Every structure is written in C-alpha cells, then in structure tokens.
C-alpha cells in the first residue's frame, strides 16, 4: 500500500535521539532493521552523534586517506567517498520505505539537501547544492554530507551536519574525495543554536519537503 497525498499530510515518522554512540553499533542496527522490516514497519529518523571515526563509502578510495592518525577507519555500505564523524556533528539517519511513499533515491537526496538549506535560511544563511557533489555548501565550504544505501526499496544511512564539531580531523582526508575541500560548522556562521532545536527543525523540513516533492510530482 502506498501513501496518498492526504495520508502524507498525516505521515508520522518515529523519531529517536540516540545520544552519543559508536558508529559500528548504529550501523549494525540500521542494517538489521532494514533487512527484517516489512510493509507495516515504521519509518524512522535516528539522530545521534558519533565518537570520532572515518568512514569510507562504497566508492571510497584509500588514496583519499592521508593522515588518519589514531582515528579508526571503517569501510561501510553507504554511497560516497571518505568522511569524518565525531562529537558535535549531527547525524540524521533515514530508515524509510521509499517505495511505499513512491519516492526515488534522487528525490530523497534532494529532500535532505533542501531541508538543510531551509534550516539555514531561517538564520539568514544562503546555502546551496553542487551538481554531481551531493551535500550542502555555504559559499565553497561544505557544511553537510549525504550518503545513503537502498535495499529492498528501503533507505538507511542519511546525512551528517556539522554543528560545532572539531574540524581538524577533516585535514587528515580528502573529504568526499576532493582535495582541499573546506569544511564549516553551523557555529562558524554566527549561529548559536542548540542541537535539539536544530534536530526539531530538520525533522520538520524533512517531512514538509517530502510532501512538497510529492505534490509537485502528482
């Protein structure tokens, strides 16, 4: 059964804040939920922050890991190249049956990007996408990365939004496969907002943008 427009207005996502977690544990839970879910399973948003780790996506190349130091490197099953996760970075994992709501992966990426752009616009910050380089940028600096996995028509993984994280570990890699890519935090933009408020706004815009994209494609 797919969700019609009137249902989408009342579409509920189960949202959980997992606190600070180990990447490996959350990844394992995402995979397990996605493999065992059925047509009646809830769609979920998991917010979390991770202890310091580099993750290398399916397209990742070891040559982009320059100087990892003592930070763990983990090869994972999301799309994309190498990136860093650590405290102060908001992870928003999307465990969603996109087939059920008739959404494709490109639309889901667009919804995620637009949600961050909408969020930053509330603080008079103009953010944008880049063609063939998923994520969100402020001027030339990347503020959010996106990497997804689709299995049996269902998504997992999601986005990483730099709130007030230590940016030094990004210098140990070619982030997302690009040399000398500048990275920025929300806090660097003069935005003094707590994590909970940002997460609430991301959830709101995510749901709104799903409805908007479905309305426009109807």
* Whole-number Å distance between alpha carbons of 127 and 157: 22
Residue 176 annotated among the catalytic residues of the structure: yes
What ranges make up the beta strands (E) of 51-119? 53-56, 73-75, 82-85, 89-97
| Other CB atoms within 10 A of residue 44 CB | 18
Q: Considering the candidates 3, 30, 176, 210, report the single residue annotated as catalytic.
A: 176
What is the C-alpha separation between 26 and 92, in angstroms, rounded? 12
Q: Which of 139, 158, 173, 141 is nearest to 98 (CA)?
A: 158
211 C-beta neighbours (distance < 10 Å), count: 15
Rounded distance between C-alpha atoms, residue 216 and residue 60, angstroms? 34
How far are the Cα atoms of 27, 44, 119 from residue 11, in angstroms, in the given order?
Answer: 25, 12, 20
Between CA 180 and CA 43 the distance in angstroms is 37
CA 46 to chain centre: 10
Q: Which residues are catalytic?
A: 176
């Amino acid at each position: 059964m797919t969700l019609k427009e009137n249902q989408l207005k009342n579409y509920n996502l189960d949202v959980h804040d997992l606190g600070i977690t180990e990447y490996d544990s959350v990844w394992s839970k995402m995979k397990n939920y996605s493999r065992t879910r059925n047509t009646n399973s809830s769609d979920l948003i998991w917010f979390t922050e991770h202890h310091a780790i580099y993750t290398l996506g399916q397209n990742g190349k070891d040559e982009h890991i320059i100087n990892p130091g003592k930070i763990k490197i983990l090869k994972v099953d999301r799309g994309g190249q190498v990136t860093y996760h650590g405290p102060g970075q908001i992870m928003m994992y999307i465990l969603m049956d996109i087939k059920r709501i008739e959404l494709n992966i490109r639309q889901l990426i667009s919804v995620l990007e637009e949600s961050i752009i909408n969020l930053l616009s509330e603080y008079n910050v103009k953010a944008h996408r880049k063609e063939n380089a998923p994520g969100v940028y402020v001027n030339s600096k990347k503020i959010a990365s996106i990497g997804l996995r689709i299995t049996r028509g269902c998504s997992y993984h999601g986005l990483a939004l730099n709130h007030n994280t230590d940016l030094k570990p990004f210098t140990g890699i070619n982030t997302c496969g690009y040399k000398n890519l500048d990275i920025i935090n929300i806090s660097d933009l003069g935005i003094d907002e707590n994590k909970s408020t940002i997460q609430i706004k991301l959830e709101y815009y995510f749901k709104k943008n799903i409805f908007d994209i479905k309305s426009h494609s109807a």
